[in-house]
Amino acid sequence: MAFEGITTALVTPLDAQIEVDEKALAELIDFQIKSGVHNLLALGGTGEYSSLSNAQRKQVIDITIREVNGRVPVMVGIVDPGIGDAIDIGSYAKEAGADGLLIVTPFYVRPTQEGIVEYYKKLDAALDLPILLYNMPAKTGVNMLPNTVETIVKETKNVVGIKECSVDFAQTVELIRLVGDKISVLAGEEYAAVASMIFGAKGAIMASANVIPEVWMEFYDLIQKGETEKAIGKNFEAYPMFNAIFLEGNPGPLKAAMKLRGLTTEQVNIPLLNAKDSTVAALKKILPTVEV
């Protein structure tokens, strides 16, 4: 399966007891699909993968796949530093009916580029499900280079895409040049996503699409129609919203923005904290300026 277009990196709605809010998650999924997004990503960083228990992760997978019910492809985001846990959650997602897995580079140990290649080769063989690589050097401390991605693509059979979050735009362009005709290069940073798609990325996996999916669909559609100047102008208009959403650790401000739109509760799990009053005030000023 080729994952293209706009993918929403879903938040995980939580109640006051830090349990998964099944009703809110189901409503969010319906809202996203009705907004026209092409794919949904459960868990991952925006879904607070690292602060959920294993049982909660599996609960989110089950709820998402059940509620989507085949309406759009579902990928499951895995943010584990070790091969064993990644295979465990990946295997569960496969059995539950996920269409693909988004798996971050191993972190903390700071592996070599060769180690990263071997990591994904083992995952490829063990899981036998479409895999998207996930490069997030700002958080993992590990940067998967374009040549490394090219090697992984050559030496695996199930790697179909990558979420690229490098802040080095030249690296994104080089990645598209090397493998853009072989896998789906998907932008992962709000600030560079429109530019990445103009340069050939086949879509984007966006946290902010939780609250403004219509805006991301408009960006994508404008680029597909060749109306890049209009897409760039709309992108500039949305920048203040991006700034506000990332004033604090994701997804704290994002959930606050979603609460303002009636989409979920603002509750996050420690070590994250709910957005500060000053952040909420900034969001209240910015939200009306974004056309949705």
Full domain range(s) for residue 196: 5-228
In a domain, 39, yes or no: yes
In a domain, 70, yes or no: yes
pLDDT by residue for the chain (292 residues), tens only, comes to 679 999 999 999 999 999 999 999 999 999 999 999 999 999 999 999 999 999 999 999 999 999 999 999 999 999 999 999 999 999 999 999 999 999 999 999 999 999 999 999 999 999 999 999 999 999 999 999 999 999 999 999 999 999 999 999 999 999 999 999 999 999 999 999 999 999 999 999 999 999 999 999 999 999 999 999 999 999 999 999 999 999 999 999 999 999 999 899 899 999 999 999 999 999 999 886 665 5
Given the residues 49, 119, 120, 134, the one annotated as active site = 134
Given the residues 119, 120, 163, 220, the one annotated as active site = 163
In a domain, 64, yes or no: yes
Query: Is 191 an annotated catalytic residue?
Result: no
Query: Is 92 an annotated catalytic residue?
Result: no
What CATH number corresponds to the domain at position 203? 3.20.20.70
In a domain, 249, yes or no: no
In a domain, 204, yes or no: yes
Report the number of distinct structural domains present in the chain: 1
Instruction: Give the Cα separation of 221 and 154 in Å (integer).
Output: 31
How much is the pTM? Answer: 0.96
In a domain, 289, yes or no: no
